[in-house]
A and B are shown apart, each in its own frame.
Chain A
Amino acid sequence: GENVEQHPSTLSVQEGDSAVIKCTYSDSASNYFPWYKQELGKGPQLIIDIRSNVGEKKDQRIAVTLNKTAKHFSLHITETQPEDSAVYFCAAPGGFKTIFGAGTRLFVKA
């Protein structure tokens, strides 16, 4: 089955700097890779996703890149702001289910 690994578990950056979170997956047949942001006490919210037919997708300050050969995908946040502080989860489909990474706790220091 699918296995998703996420790094780092914690990331602290200065406001305005960039943050990068990486995930690897094991199932080469996986074709959809979402990223979720979870704020304290709330459910996860989809912030960006990418399908396997493209290598990069960007939405304002957020971008996701996908390397199918290496089976890894990354979340890039530029010009970070304090409100970006949250836990971020990557995910990949595991059959009918969705397999989540362990999460990255991002701290953006003002």
Chain B
Amino acid sequence: GAVVSQHPSWVICKSGTSVKIECRSLDFQATTMFWYRQFPKQSLMLMATSNEGSKATYEQGVEKDKFLINHASLTLSTLTVTSAHPEDSSFYICSARSLAGDLNTGELFFGEGSRLTVL
């Protein structure tokens, strides 16, 4: 199957600093990538939809200035948590939909996730 690589897998940072997480589709092109946040023992919460070459679409309640998303190419999307605070500590996961995939199938390929801990 298609491979999505996410980096770093874990990161610890000080409060007030910014952290960037990368999501790469390794063997396919992805026009659309999604960023999720997952709290312990909960489901995936969609944060934003990232479209190559255009601005991301954020879900209600997600601060776009706090969580900067850039999708500069068909294989790379980045999520930057700006001025991180302890409440931003969470598991962040990206997913990508193949160019060839039917937009209605919901066929997604997930990254391994990035655990962010803000001290």
Contacts and interface: CB of A to CB of B under 8 A. Distances in A.
Interface of A: 31-32, 34, 36, 41-46, 49, 51, 89, 91-93, 96-98, 100-103, 105
Given A44-B93, A103-B42, A103-B43, A34 B115 contact: no
A38 to B, nearest CB: 9
Contacts of B32: 96
A31 B43 contact: no
Contacts of A97: 34, 46, 49
Q: Ordered nearest first, which 8 A-B pairs have the shortest CB separation?
A: A93-B106, A43-B110, A32-B105, A43-B113, A98-B106, A43-B112, A44-B110, A43-B93
Q: Decide if the interface of chain A is mainly helix, strand, loop or mixed.
A: strand
B108 A46 contact: yes
B44 interface: yes
Given A96-B32, A97-B46, A102-B43, A32 B106 contact: yes
Contacts of A31: 104-105
Interface of B: 1, 4, 6, 32, 34, 41-44, 46, 49, 91, 93, 95, 102-113, 115
Contacts of A92: 106
B109 A46 contact: yes
Contacts of B102: 32
B93 to A, nearest CB: 5
B113 A41 contact: yes
Contact of A89 (B43, B107, B115): B43
Contacts of A49: 107
Contact of A100 (B1, B44, B49, B105): B44
B1 A46 contact: yes
A103 B102 CA distance: 25
A110 B41 CA distance: 23
Q: Which of B1, B93, B105 has the most CB of A within 10 A?
A: B105
